[in-house]
Structure 1
Amino acid sequence: MIVISSREFRDNQKKYFDLIDKNEQVIVQRGKNQSYKLVPVLENEMLMTEAEFYAKIDKSLQQFEEGKFTRIAKEDFKTFLGL
């Protein structure tokens, strides 16, 4: 794990992004009381716009209303979530 200042990160962003791509953990310290962990966004975690998010919710609600869903037991759901 590498801990760097925000100034160091600004000055050498490419260097630290390359390290992150090689699975190195990079923490950026901002002031005395704030720090941030930099992690890559994986393909399956792609971000969506607010409009896309609401469209996905609307589609899910429509599928539910049409009976296109699977009911699972509470314990099975906990297992699915790894709880």
Structure 2
Amino acid sequence: MPFFSMQVVLILILCILAYQYVYTMKTIVETTSRQFRAHQKDFFDMADKGHDIVIKRGSKQAYVLIPVSADDLYFTPEMIARIKESQQQIKDGKGIVVGTKEELNTFFDTL
């Protein structure tokens, strides 16, 4: 005789799926600019929890509220290393000099 009945197992699976849906699914929240101004803290809290906040301004304009991480504000160590490597390549004469618009277009065409 099994330890759990099939009904208990199905209920547990449904509970797990419901938990995942409620706590891990991203939702899109749309609001007006007036509602956003009145309830800014609530919308910032929702954005911090991973929800997409769309703020509508009139009938034609919309904006998305996105939290900014430290990586967005500062260069990561990898980016700093790439910049230093590029600077060294320029010092070593491995850079490309472009003097005219036509040379720039030609360079872009080779990429």
Whether the TM-score (by the shorter chain) exceeds 0.5 is yes
* 2:92 equivalent to 1:67: yes
* Partners of 1:68 and 1:18 in 2: CA distance: 50
| 1:30 maps to amino acid | R
With normalisation by structure 1, the TM-score equals: 0.60
Q: CA deviation at 1:47?
A: 6.3
RMSD: 2.8
Higher relative CO (Cα under 8 Å, sequence separation at least 6) belongs to: 1
Instruction: Work out which of the two has the higher radius of gyration on C-alpha atoms and give 1 or 2.
Output: 2
Give percent identity, aligned residues only.
35
Q: Which residue of 2 aligns with 1:17?
A: 44
Deviations 1:12-50 (A, max 9, x none): 1111000000001100000000000110111111069xx
**Structure with the largest fraction of helix:** 2
Aligned structure 1 segments of 4 or more residues deviating by more than 6 angstroms: none
Q: CA deviation at 1:66?
A: 1.5
* Partners of 1:68 and 1:40 in 2: CA distance: 41
| 1:29 maps to amino acid | K
**Structure 2 unaligned runs (5+)?**
1-27, 76-82, 95-111
With normalisation by structure 2, the TM-score equals: 0.46
Aligned residues: 60
**Structure 1 residues 11, 44: CA separation in 2 closer, same or farther (over 3 Å shift)?**
same
**Structure 1 residues 68, 38: CA separation in 2 closer, same or farther (over 3 Å shift)?**
farther
**Structure 1 residues 4, 47: CA separation in 2 closer, same or farther (over 3 Å shift)?**
farther
**Structure 1 residues 38, 68: CA separation in 2 closer, same or farther (over 3 Å shift)?**
farther
